[in-house]
Amino acid sequence: METRALIDPFQRPITYLRLSVTDRCDFRCSYCMAEEMVFLPKKELLSLEELDRMSTAFIGLGVRKLRITGGEPLVRKDIMTFFRGMTRHLESGALDELTLTTNGSQLARFADDLYAAGVRRVNVSLDTLDPAKFSQITRRGDLAKVLRGIEAAQAAGLRVKINAVALKGFNEEELFTLTDWCAERDMDLTWIEVMPMGDLGEEEDRIDQYWPLTDLRERLATRFTLTPLAERSGGPARYVRLEESGQKIGFITPLTHNFCESCNRVRMTCTGELYMCLGQEDRADLRAPLRDHPDDDAPLVAAIRDAISHKPKGHDFDYSRQRADGQMPRHMSHTGG
Binding residues for GTP: 18, 67, 101, 161, 265-267
Segments in 30-69 forming alpha helices (H) = 48-60
Indicate the annotated binding residues: 18, 25, 29, 31-32, 67, 71, 101, 125, 161, 195, 260, 263, 265-267, 277
Contact 155, 111 (CB under 8 A): yes
CA-CA distances (angstroms) from residue 10 to 29, 59, 63, 225? 35, 21, 17, 37
Indicate the annotated binding residues for S-adenosyl-L-methionine: 31, 71, 125, 195
Other C-beta atoms lying within 10 Å of the C-beta of residue 3: 9
**Residue among 85, 197, 173, 182 nearest 124 (CA):** 182
* CA distance linking residue 73 with residue 71, whole number of Å: 6
Other C-beta atoms lying within 10 Å of the C-beta of residue 294: 10
Q: How many residues does the chain have?
A: 337
* CA distance linking residue 32 with residue 9, whole number of Å: 31
* CA distance linking residue 112 with residue 116, whole number of Å: 6
Indicate the annotated binding residues for [4Fe-4S] cluster: 25, 29, 32, 260, 263, 277
Q: For residue 57, is it left (φ>0), alpha (ψ between -120 and 50) or beta?
A: alpha
